[in-house]
A = this chain, B = another copy of it.
């Protein structure tokens, strides 16, 4: 097929990508009477030699998004779902290696965790589950045919310290009215994205163990830090992960400061000794930063933590 020329005019196509988003795939594995469940939301994004379809509507290079959806479900059968990361690697490799026009693939996955429902007197295992409903596990696998980038993470993990948090000694200008705080509630909803050093050489990390340990370090660093600012807590969380997990080169955290204001009870003749708080919705402070392993280059986009 002949190359389509670009239409007249000043407009040029630049970065472009396409795919099928939010394929909700659930994989059940039966091990006798003990069933296992993996519950994913998979978004496929492809890019490559796509000038024609944009300039003229010729679809000769376009593998339909419907096909990418079918592939997700077929691969869940053919390869199983060992982990979100491993499943993403299977998918990304397939699209880039099987379609000449496709040069890169990015697979984004959300994973929802489930707990078993225990029945009294029953053996462990079984086939009944209740969704854990806490944080959502995330991964993004990117492949360009040569190297790999895996950025995993989590979102929606809400944490709170009811003491050991202060905020004072800050800069002031003519619009500053905030009183200093020497014992406040510190609460945030953690969104984290960490990038693995693995880029295709050598063994992959143990994705599930790495997730569990990174999550634990984030929680423990949040809980264990006596905080003078949310920025300091953020850094401690990131530094803990980089310090403890050699397989991770970089982590980005987005921490909304979920303000808990002390209720003013003085009009009612009551003292509020750090007991009663209003949990506010908007506005909220928003603290975001990347913590990097020394000597590595940052690669997580600034806007990724907003997703």
Contacts and interface: CB of A to CB of B under 8 A. Distances in A.
A287 B130 contact: no
Interface string A10-51: 111111111111111111111000010101000101000010
Contact of A50 (B19, B28, B114, B231): B231
Interface string A255-269: 011001001010110
A187 to B, nearest CB: 9
Interface string A162-194: 111001111111111110000001000000000
A74 B268 contact: yes
Oligomeric state, in number of copies?
Answer: 4
A58 interface: yes
A302 B307 CA distance: 12
A147 interface: no
A28 B234 CA distance: 24
Interface residues of A, number: 145
B37 A162 contact: yes
Contacts of A66: 176-178
Contacts of A127: 161-164
Contact of A28 (B9, B11, B274): B274
Nearest to A57: B228
Nearest to A39: B279
Interface in A174-223: 174-178, 185, 219-220, 222-223
Interface in A273-288: 274-288
B263 A73 contact: yes
A56 B232 contact: yes
Given A25-B278, A77-B276, A277-B28, A131 B158 contact: yes
A8 to B, nearest CB: 9
A127 to B, nearest CB: 4
- Residue among A19, A39, A58, A160 with the highest chain B CB neighbour number at 10 A: A160
Interface of A: 7, 9-30, 35, 37, 39, 43, 45, 50, 53-67, 69-71, 73-74, 76-78, 98-99, 101, 114, 117, 119-120, 126-135, 156-164, 167-178, 185, 219-220, 222-224, 227-229, 231-232, 234-235, 238-239, 242-243, 250, 256-257, 260, 263, 265, 267-268, 270, 272, 274-294, 298, 301-304, 306-307
Given A59-B170, A131-B159, 15 more contacts: A9-B239, A10-B293, A12-B292, A14-B291, A21-B284, A29-B275, A54-B231, A63-B173, A73-B276, A119-B223, A120-B220, A128-B219, A130-B160, A131-B157, A177-B267
